[in-house]
Amino acid sequence: MKKKLILVVTVLALVAVLATCLVACNKGFKWHTTPGGDATAPVKSNGGYVVKQGDWLYFINGYVGQDENNDFGTPVKQSIVRVQVKDGVIDNDTAAVIVPKNIYNTSKNGGFAIYGEWIYYATPNYDRDKNDVKSTVNTDFMRTKIDGSATQKIATIATRGSEYFFAPTRVWYFANSELNYIDFSGMKSNGKGVKTGKVDATVSAVAWKYDLDTIFFTRSAKDTETTLTYNELCSIKVDGSGEKVLVTSNTYTKTPNTDRSNVYTLGLLGAYLESDGSATIYYTKSYTASSEAKNAGLFMNKISGNFDVKTEKQIAVNTVSTLYPLGYEEGALAYNSDSKYCWANGENLESPLLVTDASKTVWFAANGYAYYTDSSSATKLYKISYREAENATAIFEEGIKVDWLVLDGVEDGDFAASFFFATADNNYMHYVNYTEGDEVKSKMVGIYLDSEKPEETEEE
């Protein structure tokens, strides 16, 4: 099933200024403890709106948007709810609100993560300024224990549109060309000890992925004495250590000033976690020759610490802005010039295998199949073999909200399901259990607001 789509982001014209919002554990955040959960269990699918930890499933209960009634303890519909999974089946009778906050950020790549006993999430901040005016832009990064027994505010940033990523000891966020971090490894019970910083202020794109220990980013060239046109590909560990420059002006040539056709600007598009723990990154390359910018195509490279030109693979001749990574052996599902997904794997560079028609969105891939919807007014989830590009099948037919967080999925042992906000059910969370086969009807999971509960709920 889909593991989180790579959070590749372009420059946002937003200012993300860290505010001082550190608070004591449970100060102003009183909630009841709900027995259950397993902090020692492995976590599946961090970074979206459904996360599984052992036999417990945590998810955003439904979609509300920027609801200004975000007092702790009030939100239900867009809160984080937990249910138990027994023998591969969700037991909705165990549903309980664990994080009674509105989980929201305008980014389609947002979501929450679980590390050990803590759930990490973003939520709108509506604090009032000295003129008693509510904030309309601030976001709180917070954490709550998996049984709801304790909550802490980590920090506040002055935007609701940044791309962000939760690591075990840091929150990373990207906005206004800046790659920033919030280090909470030293946070005390009274909320003190958080450190903040900036890695670079000339960043053009970032690629990160949950369970991958490295963040990749491109930044402006640091050599101001040259007339060469290029940028630098860099990496840094998620704990803030080991920053490296991987690609610069002399990576592909020893004589960059004379061999300018091998001096590149890289367009970073994504990363993929390989089974051996290494990362495959995806990028376009362009260069300047005779004062004219030229495209070199779409590439990927497997990285284990350093960048090796010898392992770089070209997988398409055209440059793209949209792709779904499949790994170093499989390549990627990438847009062609007609905005149709193709299987780009290095074969037939000029005409890779066409997988979908235009106006489709691939949400995830698993076991040789791509799962996609129509890009707008999505009413069906389809699957198709991307290796054969035939026999597209409708998995289910229901209205799917696709203009916020991505369609999500979890696969763990005897449990395999897709999750989505159902437009026909007031955007509450629904799921389809793949162990029941294709063309099955979805089931609601979570807790209805009393005012929105259907008059008759059909027994599943």
Dump pLDDT digits (tens) for 57-105. 999 999 999 888 999 999 999 999 999 999 999 999 999 999 999 999 9
What percent of the chain clears pLDDT 90, i.e. is strictly above it? Answer: 76
pTM reported for the whole predicted model: 0.91
273 and 288 in contact (C-beta within 8 Å)?
no
416 and 426 in contact (C-beta within 8 Å)?
no
Task: Write the pLDDT tens digit of every residue in 234-283.
Answer: 999 999 999 999 999 999 999 999 999 999 999 999 999 999 999 999 99
CB atoms within 10 A of CB 340: 15
Residue 152 within a domain: no
Number of domains in the chain: 1
Residue 263 within a domain: yes
Task: Write the pLDDT tens digit of every residue in 212-235.
Answer: 999 999 999 988 788 999 999 999
Residue 27 within a domain: no
| Full domain range(s) for residue 259 | 202-358
**Residue 190 confidence class, pLDDT cut points 50, 70, 90:** low
As a whole number of angstroms, the distance between CA 351 and CA 375 comes to: 23
Give residue 395's pLDDT.
86
Residue 324 within a domain: yes
What is the Cα 11 distance to its own chain's centre? Answer: 16
Residue 231 within a domain: yes
Residue 345 within a domain: yes
Give residue 290's pLDDT.
81
Residue 110 within a domain: no
